[in-house]
Amino acid sequence: MSPIHKIEPRDHAHEHGSELSETELRVRALETVLTQKGYVDPAALDRLIETYETKVGPRNGARVVARAWSNPEYLEWLRQDPTAAIAVMGFAGRQSEHMLALENTPQVHNMVVCTLCSCYPWAVLGLPPVWYKSAPYRSRAVVDARGVLREFGLKLPEETEIRVWDSTAEVRYLVVPMRPAGTEGWSEEKLAALVTRDSMIGTGLPKSPAEVS
């Protein structure tokens, strides 16, 4: 099994068509016992998985960013009461109860990490990617942010200040990247297509208009 400092384990047993792994057996045994005892409802488990695989994801956050880019009143609301401004778009609740929007500027680039575990705004961005939960990111984001960004192909000007936010409490962060040039007059929907997940964590930039047209 791959440890936490590498990418998540593939399902080796399945790939080779052989017997189930020890971990698979443990999970299966646990689910069976919990179901027999009436502690979990299997239909609820299916619903939870379906929610995070198909309903909740970074497209939610992209819509928030696109609205902030195109609507000054919304941006001001997002600054004053971010949790409510995000909730009004239908994105609220578990692991997004206390939101804060971090606006990038030409002078300041924001980047989010959870060095202690994997805190991440689920309702706005979905479940975190493996790299976000991994030891390399958690160990280095707070000391070598510029080096980490280079591994994402992002080279910021030397003079740009980097602010790293370590999610140590129940406050969850959404980076609002700078709106790309050449998007004047674009609809919210068209703008949202530019907003990548990584640009809302701070390890990437939005796509350029040329990349989506």
Partner 1 sequence: MNGAHDMGGVHGFGPVEPEPNEPVFHAPWERRAFAITVAMGATGEWNIDMSRFARENRSPADYLAKSYYELWLAGLEALLAERRLVSAEELAARRALGEPRPVKQILAAHDVDRVLSRGTVAAREPNAPARFKAGDRVRARNMHPSGHTRLPRYVRGRVGTVERVRGCHVFPDSNAAGTGEQPQWLYAVQFASRELWGASGDPKLKVSVDAWEPYLEPA
Q: Which is nearer to partner 1, 163 or 190 (CB)?
A: 163
CB of 130 vs partner 1, minimal distance in Å = 6
Catalytic residue among 2, 18, 21, 117: 117
Q: Is 2 helix (H, G, I), strand (E, B) or coil?
A: coil
Min dist. Cβ of residue 182 to partner 1 (A): 26
208 is catalytic: no
Shortest reach from residue 116's CB to partner 1, in Å: 6
Q: Is 167 a catalytic residue?
A: no
Select 31 or 211, whichever has its Cβ closest to partner 1.
31
Closest CA to 167 of 89, 104, 107, 102: 102
CA 212 to chain CA centroid, Å, is: 21
Give the N- to C-terminal CA distance of the chain in Å, as an integer.
42
| Enclosing H/E stretch for 51 | none
The active-site residue, picked from 2, 21, 96, 114, is 114
Q: Select 117 or 187, whichever has its Cβ closest to partner 1.
A: 117
Contact 123, 55 (CB under 8 A): no
User: 109: which strand partners?
Assistant: 162
Residue with smaller CB distance to partner 1, 77 or 165: 165
Q: Give the nearer residue to partner 1 in terms of CB position, either 62 or 148.
A: 148
Give the active site residue among 96, 119, 167, 199.
119
Closest CB 159 distance from partner 1, rounded Å: 7
Least Å distance, CB 175 to partner 1, is 13
Quickly list DSSP for 56-123: SSHHHHHHHHHHHHH-HHHHHHHHH-HHHHHHTTT--STT-SEEEEEE--SSEEEEEE-SSS----HH
Is 117 one of the annotated active-site residues of the chain? yes
User: CA-CA distance, 119 to 199, in Å (whole number)?
Assistant: 17
Residues noted as catalytic: 114, 117-119
